[in-house]
Structure 1
């Protein structure tokens, strides 16, 4: 057993996120398991850039209300206690609604050279507004 000391909360990098997002790393990918896990907190309106994961991603919402969207326009509204699985290679984004904070635990399995994430361009304000409209908000 290893008691892991908590790392300080870090502000997420602006080149990968829109708005104020905060990260608490739980586990960094390391052989042999290669699991990366983080608690990610989004302020209202904050979201990730478009991105994909070599081995997929699981998001478990712990607080608030958020959105998860894919390139084909599919959007789901998620709230505390719900889980979303994004398959390997699927370009997607996730974040808070424009009126609520949202926190989730993000889980990915690395690809042997890191966490296997490919970061892309920001989600535009128009794409974000359409996601809200698609979920009836």
Structure 2
């Protein structure tokens, strides 16, 4: 059996000499195992389902014309915004039905479609018997 010194580093990075015997070398220089670990598939992404807890309608009044006791006419823009950081499935579509009310002379119903991170934006007009801005509320969310 032949003994030789080979430099190695200790846990602090200092070089030290280690004796290596021929029988140690045979264990160290063995061919690598032919068994390879199977790669694990990345976990499937999980997506949220739109509901009234993670979506809310945002109604922005673009124009307001009031006529005294007769009330006001409103021109508005309606969009959906998320209330929490969520991701919806990019391949699924949902219809969100929104009702605009708050003492309007007639109820306005809009259906907006949500796909992934995108949602429709609509504009419309509504009349009210007061000067109070209309309020939008989600009525239903249905998968398409």
* TM-score, L = length of structure 1: 0.37
Higher relative contact order, structure no. (Cα contacts within 8 Å, ≥ 6 residues apart): 1
Q: TM-score, normalised by structure 2?
A: 0.35
Structure in which a larger fraction of residues adopt strand: 2
